[in-house]
């Protein structure tokens, strides 16, 4: 019997489980696929305040900035600064007073308001720039600016943030289970929700697990899962598409204007660049997100207009996620509030059930704290203080001495640097593992500098069960080669660690390539097509995967009419 079962292994579910376990509650966290396989792995990966919410949702900006500061303190290794430029073009729109209005707007909003919140997240103050100053900072900008404003944001690896929260929850006594789907609820005679019915996706066995309270942190799946308990949780799902480019195109994040006047961004992220994002109402199944060539063209148009050199880059893939936005009627998607709602469903005849929807990745920790407070109230427990802002996430306690580690374990410094970014202080244990078991020194992914020991660590200590999980934990196959180089090697490490039969090993490889393929379909053409042919040649021919159902035949080039295609179901957010 648990005190609380948390359903959903996104950033909110893992954050809630960590908080509940740290307060001493017997906690079970269940996730139907893998941690961060939903919205939490398909966002822009920004731990930001959301400048634009200042216009209509100042409390969201304030909360996100506040929590960003805490997240920086508990997981400093996972965050990286992204300075942004908001360029002003002469034709945006043709208005002689625009510069004056822009500067006033910039001063008032960016400098005046956002700067007030920047200290909460250790952000630097904004600066109004002339066009010449902007070009000096970012030579790749289109040459038709009349000025720009800088502002400061933070990026994060959201996959690792979720994994770190899940591991921390376990270290504090929680049981964590991925690949376990809630298919129903235990109900007592008086209607109280007293647990869940859980299906293990490996064995397909179902079991009843009892708890005093159940928390739904199911993101875009909230409506569907709540319905299993006869409860309505209403959201307004909003699909967002991103593109990942094969290189860093700019030094700064750049706000780009779309053809319909929306602001999107191009930003450097790890070894790549990300262009995002669309925001459209979505009525379909969050397990099957279509991406059309139109959506790709829309983002591409805006990015190349602001930063023409984007046209020289190769789009590696497109990926999509669904925002679990709180329901409102009669508003455009961009204007929807990013507020969150925590509901105790005792009021709906389901005592013992609490749900969370809305909010931001950047404010997950505070929202998790509020949820656990709500659970305490629902259970009639006296308040136990939250400590998630005080205790570092695993690896966040100190930054290891990378050069010393590289020397001691005779590993390339860049490799150790990347391990330290992903794992913080735990990098030491991973290097030590590579030393103890020399076969794990093998470089697996050259784009992202992943060695065998990092994969083994994720399998042994981070619930990595599938090749796709290793991809999320370690950025495997997320770089320019998209798995051409590393997928088969990584499958071999998984097979050895998990004792997989050869057919299972090939299945893992096939599933990874199939997901890669879905993410690539909407962007294929030119060099991307050549890369795809190479990858398929290697895996179908040399890897003998032709016996397994792999991808469909390669469609026409990007310029042709596009069928809707399924996106990478769980593709990466900022980490793409
Ligand atoms: C395109 C896009 C860009 C965004 N950009 C940003 C950004 O830059 N910064 C920011 O702060 N926020 C951003 N967000 C918002 C942020 O990603 C979300 O608010 C956050 O990830 C929601 O997390 P969650 O844990 O509630 O949901 P999810 O991450 O979706 O987690 C829900 C989990 O529940 C699981 N689940 C569903 N049904 C069941 C079941 N029956 N049994 C067990 N498990 C189940 C799912 O598999 C899933 O993993 C963005 C969102 C999108 C879509």
pLDDT above 70: percentage of residues in the chain: 90
Rounded to whole angstroms, how far apart are CA atoms 412 and 7?
41
* Residue 564: C-alpha distances to residues 294, 304, 319, 482, 556 (Å): 9, 23, 13, 22, 13
User: Tokens standing for 385?
Assistant: 């203080």
Judge contact between 287 and 262, C-beta under 8 A.
no
Task: Give the model's pLDDT for residue 574.
Answer: 34
Task: Give the model's pLDDT for residue 449.
Answer: 92
Most confident range, picked from 115-124, 372-381, 528-537: 372-381
- Render the burial of 404-417: b for 16+ CB within 10 Å, e for the rest: ebbeebebeeebbe
Average pLDDT value for residue range 207-213: 98
Cβ(31) to ligand 1 under 6 A? yes
Cα(39) to centroid(ligand 1), Å: 3
Counting from 1 in the atom list of ligand 1, the atom nearest the Cα of 14 is: 25
Cα(76) to centroid(ligand 1), Å: 22
Rounded to whole angstroms, how far apart are CA atoms 156 and 162?
11
Cα(350) to centroid(ligand 1), Å: 24
Task: Give the model's pLDDT for residue 425.
Answer: 98
**Above 90 in pLDDT, residue 149?**
no
Residues with Cβ within 8 Å of residue 424, at least 6 apart in sequence: 75, 76, 77, 78, 394, 395, 396, 397, 398, 399, 400
Counting from 1 in the atom list of ligand 1, the atom nearest the Cα of 219 is: 27
Cis? peptide before 425, omega within 30° of 0: no
Cis? peptide before 273, omega within 30° of 0: no
Cβ(220) to ligand 1 under 6 A? yes
**Above 60 in pLDDT, residue 424?**
yes
Average pLDDT value for residue range 478-488: 88
Phi, psi of 214, rounded to the nearest 5 degrees: -125, 130
Model pTM? 0.92
Average pLDDT value for residue range 482-502: 92
Report the residue among 15, 34, 39, 79 best suited for mutation to probe ligand 1: largest number of ligand atoms under 8 A from its CB: 39
Cα(218) to centroid(ligand 1), Å: 7
Cα(32) to centroid(ligand 1), Å: 13
In a 3-state reduction of DSSP, which class is residue 321?
A: strand
CA angle 325, 329, 331 (to 5 degrees): 80
Report the residue among 9, 43, 279 best suited for mutation to probe ligand 1: largest number of ligand atoms under 8 A from its CB: 43
Average pLDDT value for residue range 353-371: 96
Residue 314 class from Cβ within 10 Å (0-12 exposed, 13-18 middle, 19+ buried)? middle
Q: To the nearest 10°, report the CA torsion of 99, 104, 110, 111.
A: 120
Average pLDDT value for residue range 337-360: 94
Rounded to whole angstroms, how far apart are CA atoms 49 and 120?
10
pLDDT band at 173 (very low <50, low <70, confident <90, very high): very high
Cα(229) to centroid(ligand 1), Å: 21
- Residue having the nearest C-alpha atom to atom 41 of ligand 1: 182
Cβ(289) to ligand 1 under 6 A? no
Cα(387) to centroid(ligand 1), Å: 23
Cβ(213) to ligand 1 under 6 A? no
Counting from 1 in the atom list of ligand 1, the atom nearest the Cα of 357 is: 26
The better pLDDT of the pair 61, 365 is held by: 365
In a 3-state reduction of DSSP, which class is residue 289?
A: coil
Average pLDDT value for residue range 408-425: 96
Task: Give the model's pLDDT for residue 25.
Answer: 98
Q: What is the pLDDT of residues 507-520, one digit of tens each?
A: 899 888 888 888 88
Q: Are strands 353-358 and 263-269 parallel, antiparallel or unpaired?
A: unpaired
Cα(420) to centroid(ligand 1), Å: 26
Residues with Cβ within 8 Å of residue 409, at least 6 apart in sequence: 416, 431, 432, 434, 435
Report the residue among 6, 7, 10, 69 best suited for mutation to probe ligand 1: largest number of ligand atoms under 8 A from its CB: 10
Cα(97) to centroid(ligand 1), Å: 42
Residues with Cβ within 8 Å of residue 574, at least 6 apart in sequence: 43, 44, 45, 46, 155, 156, 157, 158, 269, 274
Q: What is the pLDDT of residues 74-88, one digit of tens each?
A: 999 999 999 999 888
Task: Give the model's pLDDT for residue 49.
Answer: 74
Report the residue among 184, 200, 220, 221 best suited for mutation to probe ligand 1: largest number of ligand atoms under 8 A from its CB: 221
In a 3-state reduction of DSSP, which class is residue 23?
A: coil
Cβ(9) to ligand 1 under 6 A? yes
The better pLDDT of the pair 442, 557 is held by: 442
**Above 70 in pLDDT, residue 567?**
no
Cβ(361) to ligand 1 under 6 A? yes
Q: What is the pLDDT of residues 539-566, one digit of tens each?
A: 776 665 655 544 433 233 333 333 333 4
Task: Give the model's pLDDT for residue 100.
Answer: 60
Judge contact between 65 and 116, C-beta under 8 A.
no
Judge contact between 229 and 261, C-beta under 8 A.
no
Q: Are strands 127-129 and 145-156 parallel, antiparallel or unpaired?
A: antiparallel
Q: What is the pLDDT of residues 279-309, one digit of tens each?
A: 999 999 999 998 999 999 999 999 999 999 9
**Above 80 in pLDDT, residue 171?**
yes
Cβ(12) to ligand 1 under 6 A? yes
Report the residue among 36, 71, 218 best suited for mutation to probe ligand 1: largest number of ligand atoms under 8 A from its CB: 218
Cβ(233) to ligand 1 under 6 A? no
- Render the burial of 98-123: b for 16+ CB within 10 Å, e for the rest: beeebeeebeebbbebbbebbebbeb
User: Tokens standing for 175?
Assistant: 């049981």
Rounded to whole angstroms, how far apart are CA atoms 490 and 8?
27
**Above 90 in pLDDT, residue 144?**
no
Residue identified by tokens 């990858």 is: 535
Residue 116 CB-half CA count within 13 A: 11
Query: How does the average pLDDT of the chain come out, rounded?
Result: 89
User: Tokens standing for 468?
Assistant: 């796709």
Question: What count of other Cβ atoms lies within 10 Å of the Cβ of residue 312?
Answer: 11
Cβ(321) to ligand 1 under 6 A? yes
């Amino acid at each position: 019997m648990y005190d609380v079962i948390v359903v959903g292994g996104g950033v909110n579910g893992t954050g809630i489980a960590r908080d509940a376990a740290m307060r001493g509650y017997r906690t079970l966290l269940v996730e139907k696929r893998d941690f961060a396989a939903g919205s939490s792995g398909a966002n822009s990966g920004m731990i930001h305040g959301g400048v634009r919410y200042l216009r209509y949702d100042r409390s969201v900006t304030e909360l996100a900035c506040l929590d960003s500061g805490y997240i920086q303190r508990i997981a400093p290794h996972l965050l990286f600064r992204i300075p942004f430029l908001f360029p002003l073009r002469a034709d945006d729109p043709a208005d002689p007073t625009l510069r004056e209005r822009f500067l006033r707007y910039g001063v008032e909003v960016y400098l005046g308001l956002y700067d007030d919140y920047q200290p909460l997240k250790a952000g630097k103050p904004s600066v109004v720039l002339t066009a010449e100053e902007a070009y000096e900072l970012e030579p790749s900008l289109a040459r038709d600016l009349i000025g720009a404003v800088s502002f400061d944001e933070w990026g994060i690896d959201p996959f690792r943030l979720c994994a770190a929260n899940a591991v921390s929850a376990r270290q504090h006594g929680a049981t964590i289970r991925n690949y376990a789907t809630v298919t129903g609820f235990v109900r007592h005679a008086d209607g109280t929700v007293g647990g869940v019915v859980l299906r293990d996706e490996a064995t397909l066995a179902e079991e009843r697990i009892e708890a005093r309270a159940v928390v739904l942190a199911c993101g875009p799946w909230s409506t569907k899962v709540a319905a299993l308990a006869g409860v309505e949780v209403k959201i307004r799902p909003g699909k967002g598409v991103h593109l990942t480019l094969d290189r860093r195109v700019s030094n700064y994040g750049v706000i780009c204007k779309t053809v319909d006047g929306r602001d999107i961004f191009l930003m450097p992220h790890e070894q790549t660049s990300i262009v995002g994002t669309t925001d459209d109402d979505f009525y379909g199944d969050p397990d099957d997100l279509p991406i059309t060539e139109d959506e790709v063209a829309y983002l591409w148009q805006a990015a190349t207009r602001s930063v023409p050199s984007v046209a020289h880059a190769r789009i590696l893939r497109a990926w999509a996620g669904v925002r679990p936005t709180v329901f409102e009627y009669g508003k455009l998607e961009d204007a929807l509030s990013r507020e969150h709602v925590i509901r105790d469903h005792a009021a709906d005849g389901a005592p013992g059930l609490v749900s969370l929807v809305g909010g931001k990745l950047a404010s997950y920790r505070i929202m998790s704290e509020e949820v656990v407070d709500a659970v305490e109230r629902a259970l009639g427990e006296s308040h136990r203080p939250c400590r998630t802002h005080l205790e570092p996430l695993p690896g966040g306690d100190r930054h290891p001495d990378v050069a010393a580690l590289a020397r001691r374990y005779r590993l390339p410094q860049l490799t150790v640097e990347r391990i330290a970014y992903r794992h913080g202080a735990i990098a030491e244990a991973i290097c030590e593992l590579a030393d103890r078991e020399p076969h794990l020194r093998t470089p697996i992914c050259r784009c992202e500098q992943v060695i065998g020991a990092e994969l083994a660590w994720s399998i042994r200590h981070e619930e990595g069960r599938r090749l796709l999980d290793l991809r999320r934990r370690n950025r495997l196959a997320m770089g320019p080669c998209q798995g051409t180089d590393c997928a088969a090697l990584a499958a071999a490490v998984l097979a050895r660690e998990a004792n997989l039969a050869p057919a299972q090993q090939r299945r893992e490889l096939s599933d990874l390539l199939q997901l890669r393929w879905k993410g690539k379909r909407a962007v294929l053409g030119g060099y991307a097509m050549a890369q795809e042919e190479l990858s398929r040649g290697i895996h179908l021919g040399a890897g003998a995967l032709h016996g397994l159902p792999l991808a469909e035949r390669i469609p026409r080039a990007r310029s042709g009419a596009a069928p809707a295609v399924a996106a990478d179901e769980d593709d990466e957010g900022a980490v793409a």
